[in-house]
Amino acid sequence: MKTAIVQTNPVFSEVKLNIQNALEMMESVNADLYVLPELFNTGYNFIDGKELTCLAETSSGFTVKEMSVFAKRKSCYVVFGFAEQTEKIYNSSAIVGPGGLIGVYHKVHLFYREHLFFAEGNLGFPVFDLPIGKIGMMICFDWIYPEAARTLTLKGAQLIAHPSNLVLPYCPDAMVTRCLENRIFTATVNRVGCEDRGGIDLKFIGKSEIVSPRGEILTRLGDNEPGITVIDIDLSAADNKLATEYNHLLNGRKPSQYRLPHNNM
């Protein structure tokens, strides 16, 4: 499966421009799956809830439609992050294919000031069984909770598409461990650039990457410039959960030993 990671530098609130720039990059390579950053169409650093409300879209809105048109024309699949307007506003990712929207994920583990604006995710961690393979989704700070990647693995994911807006330095290297402990592929796709708004100055670290079930960094982009790269991966490698001939990483789990006393979290 040819997988493309699309590292962008969005301009805050310039939705049409950000989508256009992403699509121009995507047109430059052929892939079966394209993964874009978290909130790639709007930017990240919201000043207040009113601003977010103005930029949020439904799952049938402009961004999903534009990505769906691309997916249909290229007979491919696209994962991307956006602010989703439902009865609440969620930091969401969507996956679209040749037939349009396939599904969405609502970010479970909100980071920093996201708590001021977004509702906590309520859909669990979905896995989509597609013609190209079994694709799970998580978003950015979900990486720091091992339960997120493990849940997707137990549900059968071969690759985790991981739209991100990383400002802390730890995630790119930590994904090596996530892949090793679960024997899965991950595509962590970050943005670059800075957003200094409302007294909050954020710098995004780039370093978008694809990591193998053996913890190999198959490709990693730089930390300052937009970019796109595509590699061909064999998702069946994620079906082998053997660390040794005696150690199956999932069958060897001991859930009965992981229980906490009732008075503990």
Could you tell me which residues are beta bridge partners of residue 77? 33
Q: Are the CB atoms for 6 and 25 separated by under 8 Å? A: yes
107 is catalytic: yes
Q: Which of 66, 76, 107, 179 is catalytic?
A: 107
The pLDDT of residue 256 is above 80 = yes
What's the confidence (pLDDT) of residue 97? 98
Q: How far apart are CA 8 and CA 79, in angstroms?
A: 14
* Tens digits of residue pLDDT in 41-60: 999 999 999 999 999 999 99
The share of the chain scoring above pLDDT 70, in percent, equals 99
38 is catalytic: yes
Structure tokens belonging to residue 181: 């402990």
225 is catalytic: no
Q: Are the CB atoms for 43 and 195 separated by under 8 Å? A: yes
What's the confidence (pLDDT) of residue 265? 60
What's the confidence (pLDDT) of residue 263? 64
Q: Map out the domains of the chain with their CATH numbers.
A: 2-240 (3.60.110.10)
What's the confidence (pLDDT) of residue 160? 99
DSSP letter string, the chain: -EEEEEE--PPTT-HHHHHHHHHHHHHTS--SEEE--TTTTT-S--SSHHHHHHH-B-TTSHHHHHHHHHHHHHT-EEEEEEEEESSSEEEEEEEEETTEEEEEEE-SS--TTHHHHPBPP-S---EEEETTEEEEE--GGGGG-HHHHHHHHHTT-SEEEEE----SSSHHHHHHHHHHHHT-EEEEE--EEEEEETTEEEEEE---EEE-TTS-EEEE--SSS-EEEEEE--GGGGG--EEETTEETTTT--GGGSPPPTT--
What's the confidence (pLDDT) of residue 264? 61
What's the confidence (pLDDT) of residue 225? 98
What's the confidence (pLDDT) of residue 262? 77
Q: Which of 38, 57, 84, 195 is catalytic?
A: 38
* Tens digits of residue pLDDT in 239-255: 999 999 999 999 999 99
Q: How far apart are CA 184 and CA 168, in angstroms?
A: 23
What's the confidence (pLDDT) of residue 202? 98
Q: Which of 66, 76, 134, 140 is catalytic?
A: 140
152, with CB counted inside 10 A (0-12, 13-18, 19+), is: buried
pLDDT: which is higher, 260 or 143: 143
pLDDT (mean) for 154-175 = 98
Exposed e or buried b per residue across 52-84, where buried means at least 16 C-beta atoms within 10 angstroms of its C-beta: beebbbebeeebbebbbebbeebebbbbbbbbb
Q: How far apart are CA 127 and CA 158, in angstroms?
A: 9
Report the mean per-residue pLDDT for the chain.
Answer: 97
The pLDDT of residue 224 is above 90 = yes
